[in-house]
């Protein structure tokens, strides 16, 4: 049997899928998705894990790929935590799972896996989903789907994924459910939470999902504040000159969905000044693997001839700031997940024929064609906070892409009453960062971390998620 698999570009590839039933919903069959022997996996400690496909739209043949880890202890009592990466177009497996918070991280050169002692599955059952279709192993049989991707489309597929996944793993239906992620998942997560929140009100029509809250890291939230903060951060952290800052400040109106030609030119200068350092972690050394610049996924490093014809200014600035990270880690993950033995063990062996399709940590095609239609998710925050959901935001304070300045502007715009004033929190007798509590929202900074907080500050990030899930305060004293 053959299907058309749309994976990493707008092209379709006819491939044989020998295990097509692996993604069909069957309550009795989730053991078929159990992963027992990933190549290069350490023998100890044991890791209970599952992976496979969940159909989200039968008519179009859309299926999302997942990787699930049971909690290290008492999985029946621990909450279920979904992790999403952004981009749009970046894999939660390629970043969240094997670089940041999963129990198995990829080692150098993609030769195998290492156990992560700071994995978040110490605190929760961890579910990673490659979303939307076209990311990683996730696919659609209807190639036109990839031309209409936008936030509500992604939220609907993610919702259908959760409903169907919980049918396959019914033992987790009653457990507390939280959503987490970073970067452009700052859009995905509140919109998915809102969809669940709204549909939970009609239990006769929709399956109930026991959503309790969400936590987002360095999140894209509102274009105006995000880009105002990006510009101010670049100036205040000595990335750009006074003259460049003044020029951009005078000609840019970030409240406009599309920038003027003068603003695009001024911001080009800002992006250019970031080329020799890592915008996602401004104090980190750049990766020189194979003499690759530190932002291989950032079109600052592409020639102008590579920009697709007809790309709008708005999409162009998104392209310049691709939501990936260090290409060293990207390269290691890509080496590992493109191995046939890995894909076979992972229940993702979709390469049934001769094809040039390869698994990528981030899919440029999705970024180039994604329909950016949502300017701000702040109204959703207001709605869900009033609805009683637990909401946390955290920021690595060395991130120039979604810097603390812009996120603080976003939070201030919510106009929430102050519950507990700005204070220091500690970790291992050192300053871990700062925390401020509002009525309905907690904001935490992580000192010295970049865009991917759990990569840069693993132990601090574990303390952060422990505090979020348990309700215990972050330490106020050394």
Degrees, nearest 5: CA angle 83-330-362: 65
Unique residue bearing structure tokens 């993702």: 348
Contact (CB, 8 A) for 424 and 431 = yes
d(CA 365, CA 143): 12
- Give Cα separations from 300 to 228, 316, 359 (angstroms): 20, 10, 23
DSSP assignment letter at 473: P
Q: Considering only CA atoms, which of 103, 18, 6, 15 is closest in space to residue 64?
A: 6
Q: Is 399 a catalytic residue?
A: yes
d(CA 281, CA 399): 5
Q: Is 427 a catalytic residue?
A: no
Q: Where are the beta strands (DSSP E) in 262-388?
A: none
Choosing from 145, 364, 397, 399, the catalytic residue is 399
d(CA 44, CA 115): 8
302 CB contacts (<8 Å, ≥6 apart)? none
Choosing from 9, 91, 180, 183, the catalytic residue is 183
Output phi, psi for 115, to 5 deg.
-80, 135
d(CA 216, CA 292): 30
d(CA 199, CA 191): 12
Choosing from 138, 451, 463, 467, the catalytic residue is 451
Output phi, psi for 123, to 5 deg.
-110, -20
DSSP assignment letter at 93: I
Terminal CA-CA length for the chain: 62
Q: Active-site residues: which are they?
A: 183, 399, 451
């Amino acid at each position: 049997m053959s299907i058309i698999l749309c994976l990493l570009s707008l092209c379709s590839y006819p491939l044989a899928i020998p295990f097509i039933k692996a993604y069909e919903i069957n309550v009795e069959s989730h053991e078929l998705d159990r992963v027992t022997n990933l190549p290069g996996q350490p023998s100890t400690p044991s890791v209970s894990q599952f992976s496979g496909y969940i159909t989200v739209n039968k008519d179009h043949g859309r299926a999302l790929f997942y990787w699930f880890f049971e909690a290290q202890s008492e999985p029946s009592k621990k909450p279920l935590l979904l992790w999403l990466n952004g981009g749009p177009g970046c894999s939660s497996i390629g970043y969240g799972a094997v670089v940041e918070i999963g129990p198995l991280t990829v080692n150098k050169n993609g030769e195998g896996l290492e156990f992560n002692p700071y994995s978040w599955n110490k605190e929760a059952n961890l579910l990673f989903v490659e979303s939307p279709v076209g990311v990683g192993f996730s696919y659609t049989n209807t190639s036109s789907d990839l031309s209409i991707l936008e936030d509500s489309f992604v939220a609907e597929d993610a919702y259908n994924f959760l409903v169907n996944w919980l049918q396959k793993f019914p033992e987790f239906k009653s457990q507390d459910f939280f959503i987490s992620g970073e970067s452009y998942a700052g859009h995905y997560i509140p919109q998915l939470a809102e969809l669940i929140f709204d549909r939970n009100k009609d239990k006769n029509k929709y399956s109930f999902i026991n959503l309790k809250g969400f936590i987002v890291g360095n999140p894209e939230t509102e274009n105006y504040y995000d880009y105002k903060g990006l510009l101010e951060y670049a100036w205040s952290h000595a990335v750009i000159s006074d003259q460049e800052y003044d020029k951009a400040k005078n000609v840019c109106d970030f409240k406009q969905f599309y920038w003027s030609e003068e603003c695009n030119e001024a911001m080009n200068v800002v992006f250019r000044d970031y080329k020799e350092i890592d915008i996602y972690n401004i104090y980190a050394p750049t990766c020189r693997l194979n003499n690759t610049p530190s932002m291989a996924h950032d079109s600052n490093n592409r020639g102008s001839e590579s920009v697709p014809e007809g790309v709008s200014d708005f999409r162009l600035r998104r392209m310049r700031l691709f939501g990936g990270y260090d290409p060293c880690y990207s390269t290691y993950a890509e080496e590992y997940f493109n191995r046939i033995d890995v894909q076979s063990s992972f229940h993702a062996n979709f390469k049934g024929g001769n094809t040039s399709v390869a698994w990528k940590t981030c899919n440029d095609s999705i970024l180039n064609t994604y329909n950016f239609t949502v300017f701000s998710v702040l109204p959703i925050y207001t709605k869900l906070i009033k609805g009683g959901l637990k909401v946390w935001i955290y920021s690595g304070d060395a991130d120039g892409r979604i810097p603390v300045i812009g996120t603080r502007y976003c939070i201030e715009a919510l106009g929430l009453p102050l519950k507990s004033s700005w204070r220091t929190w500690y970790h291992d007798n050192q300053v871990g960062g700062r925390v401020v509590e509002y009525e309905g929202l907690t904001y935490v900074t992580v000192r010295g971390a970049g865009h991917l907080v759990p990569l840069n500050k693993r132990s601090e990030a574990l303390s952060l998620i422990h505090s979020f899930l348990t309700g215990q305060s972050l330490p106020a004293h050394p």
